Amino acid sequence: MTLKTVTVIDYGVGNLLSVRRGLEYNDALVKVTGDPEEIFQSDRVVLPGVGAFADGMAELDKRDFISLIHDLTSKGTPLLGICLGMQFLLDESEEFGLTDGLGLISGKVTAVPSNAKDGSKLKIPHIGWNNLVKPKEGGVSWKGTLLEDTKEDSALYFVHSYMAQPKDSKHLIAGCLYGDNFIPAVIQSENVIGCQFHPEKSGKIGLQMLKNFLNI
């Protein structure tokens, strides 16, 4: 069996060690690197991230990674954005003013609502375990996605104050409910995939999702 090579992009931001261990658990050959050539030549690429959107995009820009990410996704390399990395995939973020994203999936990053629809207060950031639900539109198949063989209502670990809202519902694979607000949890456009939760911190279910990414 030929092992898949996966590069975790090191741009000075992100939970790199946990992501690496999660991929290695699934027998991937993992490199954590900021070397553009190694990133471009990899079979698959993971874009992690924690912190503020503008700071993260500035780090990507400083290292000339924005054009690199566009080039590798254009040639069909599967890309997985985790947490802030998922938010980078969209056109722009409203966090601390408007900041351009990568524009790989049309949409905008907005604040997680601090109130439920009945007016009750919600804690921000949204931290902890939450359950997957399918979008209201329904009919979205999880086969061939990050969520293949994942049961609806599976619990995953979230830590975030902003959420990625794709413009086209066809890019929305799954979400969760915070209070009674729908929060996008997984988005995908062809080989570009994002998850708002941390699969590397979500136990066996999260590890299965990383395995699924290796087979996309």
Is residue 154 within 8 Å of 131, Cβ to Cβ?
yes
Residue 136: the pLDDT is 81
The token duo for 109 is: 């990053």
Is residue 196 within 8 Å of 160, Cβ to Cβ?
yes
Residue 89: the pLDDT is 98
Which residue range forms the structural domain that includes residue 163? 5-214
Q: Which residues of 78-117 are buried (b: 16+ CB within 10 A; e: fewer)?
A: bbbbbbbbbbbbbbbbebeeebebbebbebbbbebbeeee
Q: Decide: helix, strand or coil at residue 45.
A: strand
Low-confidence ranges of the chain (pLDDT < 70): 1-2, 138-139
Q: Which positions are catalytic?
A: 83, 198, 200
Q: How many domains does the chain have?
A: 1
Residue 1: the pLDDT is 54
**What CATH number has the domain bearing residue 49?**
3.40.50.880
Name the amino acid, one letter, at 126.
Answer: H
Summarised one tens digit per residue, pLDDT across range 113-161 is 999 888 899 999 999 999 999 998 755 789 999 999 999 999 999 999 9
